């Protein structure tokens, strides 16, 4: 008779500790107005490109970029991450930027890599 083996897989249990989520608002954001807003719990002025904030009613920090992209980290569940991003999107509707611009590098003529003298 053959003995049956007890297959145990990897022998360790996995636990989800951090859920990251990404969302786009669909509109550019005026970050200077967001920094001055009293409704935010915490705002970190990182630069003109992005900022990190935590609007009231959210449980994690949200990194917000001027072009409307948002990243939420530190959530325990997918539903919590989605709820935090939706609340942040509703909060940011009041801070739409009227001038959407793209940062373009300035090229110098006659530089080291240029073929012109």
Could you tell me if residue 40 is inside a domain? yes
Q: Is residue 111 part of a domain?
A: no
pTM over the 0.75 mark: no
Nearest of 32, 78, 79, 71 to residue 54 by alpha carbon: 71
Q: What is the pLDDT of residues 36-70, one digit of tens each?
A: 887 777 677 666 678 888 888 888 888 888 888 99
**Is residue 29 situated within a structural domain?**
yes
Q: What is the pLDDT of residue 52?
A: 85
User: Residue 84 burial (CB < 10 Å; 0-12/13-18/19+)?
Assistant: buried
Residue 98: the pLDDT is 73
Instruction: Decide if 25 contacts 85 (C-beta within 8 A).
Output: no
Q: Which domain holds residue 79?
A: 19-95
Instruction: Report the distance separating Cα 68 and Cα 66, nearest Å.
Output: 6
Rounded Cα distance between 81 and 39, Å, is 20
Contact (CB, 8 A) for 71 and 21:
yes
Q: What is the dihedral of CA 82, 87, 90, 96, to 10 degrees?
A: -80
| Count: domains in the chain | 1
Examine residue 106 and state whether it is found in any structural domain, yes or no. Answer: no
Strands laid side by side in the 62-65 sheet: 19-24, 69-75, 62-65, 50-55, 40-45
């Amino acid at each position: 008779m053959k003995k049956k083996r007890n297959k145990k897989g990897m022998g360790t249990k996995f636990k989800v500790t951090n859920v990251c989520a990404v969302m786009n608002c669909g509109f550019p954001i005026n970050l200077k107005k967001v920094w001055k807003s009293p409704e935010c719990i915490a705002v970190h002025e990182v630069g003109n490109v992005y900022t990190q904030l935590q609007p009231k009613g959210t449980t994690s920090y949200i990194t917000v970029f001027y072009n409307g992209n948002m990243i939420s980290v530190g959530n325990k569940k997918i539903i919590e991450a989605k709820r935090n991003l939706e609340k942040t999107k509703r909060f940011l509707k009041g801070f739409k930027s009227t001038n959407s611009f793209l940062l373009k590098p300035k090229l110098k003529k006659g530089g080291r890599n240029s073929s012109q003298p």
